[in-house]
Amino acid sequence: MAMFSVTTQDFDKTVLEASAPVLVEFTAPWCGYCRRLAPVLQRMSADEGMLPIAAVNIDEEPALAERFKVDTIPTLLVFRGGSHGPALVAPATAAQIKEWLASQEV
């Protein structure tokens, strides 16, 4: 499944009310590290069995960043059943992301 963007208007329905877990990346276009991480997440999103990956642009959706207490980007959160587990901030590799996902049993 390809990555997709979410906004304040569709976040609850698309992420919180989703029937399966959703990985959400909080990002911004000016963030150099976010731009380096984007291709990694794009490749991961194409993997069979990978959960959907949504992106929140914190410049356009500051209320979402505030709501989920995101103060460093990129920050990754997995949402399941309306809530999220521990954050992964500025992951260095795809392997680190996969290990973090496995620790959350997704």
Q: Determine which one of 22, 23, 34, 56 is catalytic.
A: 34
Pair 5, 55: CB distance under 8 Å: yes
Q: From CA 13, how far away is CA 27, in angstroms rounded? A: 20
Tell me whether residue 29 is one of the annotated catalytic residues.
Answer: no
Burial (CB count <10 Å: 0-12, 13-18, 19+), residue 50: middle
Tell me whether residue 34 is one of the annotated catalytic residues.
Answer: yes
Q: From CA 14, how far away is CA 16, in angstroms rounded? A: 6
How are beta strands 75-80 and 83-84 bridged, if at all? antiparallel
Q: Determine which one of 31, 53, 73, 77 is catalytic.
A: 31
Q: Which residues are catalytic?
A: 31, 34
